[in-house]
Amino acid sequence: MNLTSRAARLAAAGTAAAALAVVAVASPAQAAAGVIHVTRPDGGNGTTHFHYEYGASVLNGDVNFTNRSVIITGTIKAVSASRTADIFGFNPDVSCYVDTTRTAPAGTLKAFGPITASCDVAGGFSEVTIWFPV
């Protein structure tokens, strides 16, 4: 899937970037859309934990922002059906991005990562959006 269609899917889901502190947790509005945003910590570099539940399915993990890269690790718990997580990270002008999916078969807890992407511009990645397409 190309960047334009991925951005269109995010816009269609009605998502707006939300600044998050140390832990990223889906708000009620994000839960309805199945989306969670993990933004770069205020200090620049650092790791932010995310946790998201959609029905019995669960996404857990960490996003580590560095000056010119991002490293994403986590788990997907799928209960009654397979579950795919879409992972999309970008910098402010979207000259760099990571766009990937990870899937867990029904009845499993599957680890993913590290997903590592570099962005050779000052500041690197600014946000990673993770969601279950529903």
Q: What share of the chain is helix, strand, coil (3-state, %, to 5)?
A: 10, 50, 35
100 is written with which tokens?
């990937």
Query: Facing residues of 63 across strands?
Result: 48, 72
DSSP H helical segments within the chain, as ranges? 3-12, 28-33
The identity of residue 95, as a single letter, is S
- pTM (whole model) above 0.85: no
Q: What is the DSSP letter of 78?
A: E
If you search the block for the tokens 């991925």, which residue do you land on? 6
pLDDT, tens digit, 9 for 90 and up, residues 55-85:
899 999 999 999 889 999 999 999 999 999 9
List of domains in the chain = 3-131 (2.60.40)
Q: Which residues of the chain have pLDDT under 50?
A: 1-4, 7-23, 26-33
